[in-house]
A = this chain, B = another copy of it.
């Protein structure tokens, strides 16, 4: 079924994929703004005009080459107890280079409304949607969104600001400290001023 239907089509999809690979590499290494369409084309051995013709614009090429599907379902669907710690572990352990460079690239390119919306829906799909209905106690959705905010903060510190003290800290310490802080929002709040009404 995936046979070569024609030499032309094969050539087309081959160069398209070459452009995509070059774009992914360069965007991750240099960021969105510092990477030019001409540079991508040169690295892929193609013409700059082809890049636009195949992907519509530099912006859409960027979106297409930045995968943001959820890879944290096994955590967000797991038991609520200790979820904070497992979330931090998963973030810092599973394909961290990819997670970090994508976060860095997309956050810096979030001038663009398309990029920003993609980032927002990615965070919602990955964390808020699976987490919010599971949280017990008042303000479940708000708390889930604040968990996502905390994750953003950790990613900022590591991937954008590059805080060496955090990067070089032991994984165990980060997991316990930041994980327990996240857990505060996962567990039902104890403050009596937070009524059960909305």
Q: Are B191 and A160 in contact (CB under 8 A)?
A: no
Number of interface residues of A (CB under 8 A): 50
Smallest CB separation, A184 vs chain B (Å) = 4
What does the 1/0 interface line of A137-159 toward B look like (CB < 8 Å)? Answer: 00101110110111111101100
Task: Scan residues 115-172 of chain A and give those whose CB is less than 8 A from a CB of chain B.
Answer: 116, 119-120, 123, 139, 141-143, 145-146, 148-154, 156-157, 160-163, 165-166, 169, 172
Given contacts A139-B173, A142-B177, contact A161 B152 (CB under 8 A): yes
Residues of A within 8 A of B (CB): 31-34, 107-111, 116, 119-120, 123, 139, 141-143, 145-146, 148-154, 156-157, 160-163, 165-166, 169, 172-174, 176-178, 180-182, 184-185, 189, 191, 193-194
6 contacts between A and B (CB under 8 A): A107-B156, A146-B174, A150-B150, A153-B153, A172-B193, A180-B184
